[in-house]
Structure 1
């Protein structure tokens, strides 16, 4: 098996230069880098990652804990994170917490046991106090889609309240006054914040949310379809439905079609997230853009800046949502 010394000799450079090329942590002249890489290829040299970790006190791996692994929302998040780290020569280890406190804590402990240099955490069930205690440990972490005032410098978050406001305000501008709401699980902060924004928009029009037109869903398609059926069964008139995310909105659109209703002729529907399928639903879904891929990239940049000393990187910590107008919302036919 070839050694780093043989690579150094064949390339005609120092051991330190070979090390810099392998670790990709210090600028090296391109011609020199190419000589080292050519020597490594000729000798079929593979760096020993364990030895590298011991020598540098870095594993060049980052642990990522997300709520789920399925669905376009988490796919976009993970893609943004992984692409940023791959460009920097780092690798990721991924675990899922399934929005359960014990599972999230177990996932964090697993990632810590893998000698990760840092963690990116998309967690919903662990308490703020648990995260405050975790912040006292050696391994740094950044929180994605969560804001804790005492850990503000570690948070990459979205203004969910503003997003809820924008969705409702758009419907109100279109003349809607009887607005139904299919929420995400209300124990989740983002679901509560979105509904709070919804209520703020209604208040500007001297309206309040109708409790008989409120259904608590699960952020999944089934929650949207069941929610729409429940709203229709209630017998209460409504001209628009706000859904807490696009998955539930797509479920509501499917249920409406199966039950013989036409959107937006019979009622309008708006979602939240702007995931990739929102453009391909029928009708195309009006929604609130949640730049989760960019936020994932920013979480990765936070790690690169804080852990790997990429000091030239700028980090944006709070993102604003934006209204996306498509075909599922029309002017109100009832007031």
Structure 2
């Protein structure tokens, strides 16, 4: 394996110049830089990542925490973060908190032990105080899908409460009053905010909140079919359901197929997230768009700006948008 000394001898420059070229220092003459690149190619020289990290005090890596890998939500989110990171010749290291406080903390400790240059965190379990403390110690951190007021300038999130209100208002505007709601896990801030939006829309319309119309589901694939069956069994008078994500809506589609209920005619359904599959089911799902691509891109760009000590006009709060398709019908 070739060494820096051999590269310097072939390129006829000092080892210090080779080191500066490897670590991307700006103040190297173009002619010397080209000679180093040519020598590295001839010798098939591969810079040692650990040595580069020691020399530059950077690992050229970003750490990312997500809730789980078993979700159509986190895949696109990771993809759009990585797209921005790779454009800067950096790598993304991703780990999952698996809906556990201990595992979220262990995951962050793991990423910090890898000496990543910055963090992008999607945390459900860590307290606001913990995140504030973490950001004070590691300022190159961006929080996704959550607002912590004390560190709002480092948060990128969607207004979930407004999204819940928009979804419910769509059903109300189509004549529905007996409106069910299947939430995500109530341990999640998203679920609680979307439920509050549902309650707000009912209140504005003068419709009494009925706890019998609300049932807890999950944002992943577990248990939502049973939740849908229970809701329809205990409240057969409902004419519409606000599903707090599109996974839940798909479970409602399945249960309606079991029972011969025509979605969009006998029962209206609205989702949340605008997953890729939402436009391919029949009838096509009316849903609230969660702009995963923009959130991932904004988060990565904001973090990269922090690393470069640049200002970045971060669009912290993104507005949810109603995507009207065919699963919501007018009540006669």
Find out whether 1:330 has 2:322 as its counterpart: no
Q: Do the aligned partners of 1:183 and 1:215 also contact (CA within 8 Å) in 2? A: yes
Does structure 2 conserve the Cα–Cα contact (< 8 Å) formed by 1:145 and 1:157?
yes
Q: Which residue of 1 aligns with 2:79?
A: 79
Structure 2: any 5+ residue segments left out of the alignment?
A: none
Q: TM-score, structure 2 length as denominator?
A: 0.91
User: Once the 2 structures are TM-superposed, how far is the Cα of residue 35 of structure 1 from its aligned partner?
Assistant: 6.5
Aligned counterparts of 2:255 and 2:30: Cα–Cα separation in 1 = 58
Q: Which residue of 2 aligns with 1:317?
A: 316
SS in 1 for 2:63: strand
Alpha-carbon distance in structure 2 between the residues aligned to 1:275 and 1:74: 11
CA shift for structure 1 position 97? 0.3
Contact 1:271 1:288 in 2 (8 A): yes
**Within 2, Cα distance between the matches of 1:63 and 1:248?**
30
Distance 2:31 2:257 in 1: 62
The aligned counterpart of 1:45 is 45
* Aligned-partner Cα distance in 1 for 2:315–2:15: 38
Secondary structure of 2:192's counterpart equals: helix
Query: Given that residues 66 and 123 in structure 1 are in contact (C-alpha distance below 8 angstroms), is that contact kept between their aligned partners in structure 2?
Result: yes
Change (3 A) 1:138 1:325: closer
1:263-292 Cα shifts (integer Å, max 9, x gaps):
111101111001111111222111100012
| Distance in 1 (alpha carbons) for counterparts of 2:27 and 2:160 | 40
Question: How many residues are paired up?
Answer: 332
Residues 222, 251 of structure 1: 8 Å contact kept: no
1:135 match: 135
- Per-residue deviation at 1:23? 4.3
Structure 1 residues 222 and 18, CA gap change in structure 2 (3 angstroms): same
Deviation at 1:199? 1.5
Deviates more, 1:74-83 or 1:122-131: 122-131
Match in the other structure for 2:258: 258
CA distance in 2, matches of 1:271, 1:154: 28
**Counterpart mapping for 1:186-335 below 5 A:** 186-309=186-309, 311=310, 313-333=312-332
Cα distance, 1:36–1:87 mapped onto 2, change above 3 Å: farther
CA deviation map 1:220-265 (0-9, x unaligned): 3344322221122114401111001111111111111122211111
> In 1, Cα distance between the equivalents of 2:47 and 2:236?
67
Unmatched 5+ residue regions in structure 1? none
Q: What are the superposed Cα offsets for residues 80-127 of structure 1, whole Å, 9 maximum, x if unpaired?
A: 111110111111111110121111111111111111111111111111
CA distance in structure 2 between the aligned counterparts of 1:213 and 1:247, rounded to whole angstroms: 19
TM-score, normalization by structure 1: 0.90
State the partner residue of 1:99: 99
**What SS does structure 2 have at the residue aligned with 1:136?**
helix
